[in-house]
Amino acid sequence: MEQEIATLVASQREHYRKGETSLIPKKADVLACDERFWPYLQKYMLWEGSVTLTGEGFEAANHVLGRRTVFFEESVDVDGTKYYLEIKGYGRNGRELRPNKHSEGDLSFGMFMDGAEKEHSIPLRLREKGVMNVQLPVALLKFDEADFIDYTREELEKLLDVRMQSYFFPGVTRIREAARRLVPQAAVYRDEDYEQDAVRKVLASKMADVVVDTYKTGKKPALRKLAGESGLEEELSGLTDERQAGYVIRAVRSPLRVGDLHDPKIVTDGNRAIAQRMGRTVRQMLELGFLHMTPNPGNWNTAGELVDFEDVVRYPKDKKLIEEDMQRRNIRSIPDYLEFIFAGGTIGYLADDFQSGFVGRSLTSTHEVVHEALEVLELLEIGEYYPHR
């Protein structure tokens, strides 16, 4: 595993040369921290009232589009166990924060605080109940709202620049009209002028300045008004949301992920064993009232730990969140939804082994897995498992 990590880091150093793996400084307030890791965190944190991360952040998977989870190369030893420190929600590749939401409603390459708090609190709760092969929460941090707006300015400028290109974005007319509304000089430009890089760059920069200045004078209510009047609701959706933003630091025994559920090469003896362990873990979680809606191999590391808990919901308390996810995926019934998340739709080529782990026996079927999961949900509905929580 050490050689694999070294190889991954080396490949990313080559791909993101010229210092592009360096974390961009962003101040944040520490809301919670595991004191055992504090001596190690001090190496990566600068104190100026709040904390600012420093150092290099490497992706947990080599992916050209970027990730919102990165890790520090150097491992740490806590209580006799070797861990790697991962940072989630600090920005794309540990750098840029974006002002819009991604398709599933969370902050693009960042995290709203409700998700960050779940990433921190749920694994702690599971560990208290004996589920130990999950990420170990280290720290929970929150951005000041005004700072967060500033952190997204550069990415907002890039986003607007790209979307003003007629050949790239279908909503180009809307973005160009927004430029005319927000920047007086844009009125003189014809459509063909927007094909010039220099024109777009100037307009995108001035539009981003207007957004930041609007927040400074009127806070989020003014931003929402601006977004509505200019037609930039989608581009500013992360800024106009009521929620605060932040990030988490967690400890894992491996920063490497098992892989892509759609890749047949994922089927190895080692990964099959991990899949069975993940099935058992997800079953334990469900019996404790926690349903993981995306328990896919991209959320398993090569040490056999389950990571990423933002998509975990409490059952039956959070049934509304399940219904929203079903609607987003165009799934109409709970049995069909359980089949999706516990079979090929989420687990892919390792579904058979995952399902064997879930039911605790071999030669099972998806129907059996769904049936047993429904039985657990029914018991949770009547409070059968509540004493465990």
Alpha helices per DSSP H over the chain: 2-15, 38-41, 113-128, 145-151, 153-163, 172-182, 197-230, 237-240, 269-287, 319-329, 334-342, 351-359, 366-381
- The residue-averaged pLDDT of 66-93 equals 92
For residue range 283-334, what is the model confidence (pLDDT) as tens digits? 999 999 999 999 999 999 999 999 999 999 999 999 999 999 999 999 999 9
Q: Which residues share a beta bridge with 17?
A: none
Q: Which of 98, 203, 200, 183 is nearest to 148 (CA)?
A: 98
What is the C-alpha to C-alpha distance for residues 96 and 381, in angstroms, rounded to an integer?
42
Task: Tell me which of 363 and 169 has the higher pLDDT.
Answer: 169
User: pLDDT class for 387, splitting at 50, 70, 90?
Assistant: very low
Residue 385 has pLDDT above 70, yes or no: no
For residue range 136-150, what is the model confidence (pLDDT) as tens digits? 999 999 999 999 999
User: pLDDT class for 231, splitting at 50, 70, 90?
Assistant: very high
User: pLDDT class for 45, splitting at 50, 70, 90?
Assistant: confident
Residue 167 pLDDT:
80
Can you tell me whether residue 129 is helix, strand or coil?
coil
Q: Which of 197, 242, 189 is nearest to 220 (CA)?
A: 242
Percent of the chain beyond pLDDT 90? 76
User: pLDDT class for 112, splitting at 50, 70, 90?
Assistant: very high
What is the C-alpha to C-alpha distance for residues 178 and 171, in angstroms, rounded to an integer?
11
Packing angle, helices 351-359 and 334-342, rounded to 10: 110
DSSP code, position 214: H
What is the C-alpha to C-alpha distance for residues 358 and 276, in angstroms, rounded to an integer?
7
Residue 62 has pLDDT above 70, yes or no: no
Residue 389 pLDDT:
41
Query: CB–CB of 152/98 below 8 Å?
Result: yes
Which tokens in the block code for residue 275?
């899949």
Percent of the chain beyond pLDDT 70? 94
Distance of CA 323 to the CA centre of its chain: 20
